[in-house]
Amino acid sequence: MPDNPTPTHRTLKTWQKALRLLLDVLVLGAAALWVILVSLDTLDNMTFGGTGFYLKVQFWLCILFLVDLTVDMAFSEHRFRYLGHHAVSYLMCVPYLVLFNFFGIVPSGILQFVLGIIPLVRAVFVLAEVLRAMNMERSLSMLGAYIVLLAAIVYFASMIFYVAEYGVNPGVHSLRSAVYWAVMCMSTTGSDIAEYTDIGKILAPVLAGMGLIFFPVFTVYISDAINGSSDPAQS
């Protein structure tokens, strides 16, 4: 990059920043809208990722995510390094269910379930990443990203558990009871609602493990914030 950028170079950088901001806003809005629409569709049909509406929304949102990643790579000074670091993100943005449906491939129940939630997981990470990028204070941005991820994990685990256990588990009679189950599992204290399905039995230890990871992080951030506010040298 030249020490004294030319007017053309400055104009190019300005357009890059404007395009980057536009994509951030579009991705953030699309991810939030998709979470809402998919939640309503899932609870209405009691299936996760199997309806035509879900496939259409998933396809276009995945295209937007791929465009966002590709533009970032085009603006990067080390494109191959960027591609290597974001290979998993690219894989998470592929609309697998749409491709399977196009080629007439019918995945099994569990595989369809997993492939359906992969782009949704990517949407949650996009929400956290964009919120962090929009916050200039690093500690607050990281804390905000963790809070978004924690809330998203609890919510989607509750919805998955509700769809899987409703009608099978007498303890799961509403989404509220599923949310209670997810919160208690993540707090590592355990819930009085037992898991009846294989999906529920897998989710329970996963949530407990995530709770062991996330809660110490919150403790560290709160301790740093208290120590920073009480330090006269930083006031």
pLDDT single digits (tens) 46-92: 666 556 777 787 788 888 888 888 888 888 888 888 888 888 888 88
Higher-pLDDT residue of 122, 160: 160
Residues 6+ apart with CB under 8 A from 50: 112, 116
Whether the pLDDT of residue 235 is over 50: the answer is no
Averaged pLDDT score across all residues of the chain: 77
Query: At 51, phi and psi to the nearest 5?
Result: -90, 160
One-character DSSP codes across 159-192: HHHHHHHTTT-TT--SHHHHHHHHHHHHTTS--S
pTM, two decimal places: 0.66
Could you tell me the residue ranges of all domains in the chain? 1-134, 138-235
User: What's the whole-number mean pLDDT along residues 193-221?
Assistant: 84
- Residue 153: Cβ within 10 Å count: 19
pLDDT above 90 covers a percentage of the chain that reads 2
Position 222 scores a pLDDT of 72
138-235 maps to CATH 1.10.287.70 = yes
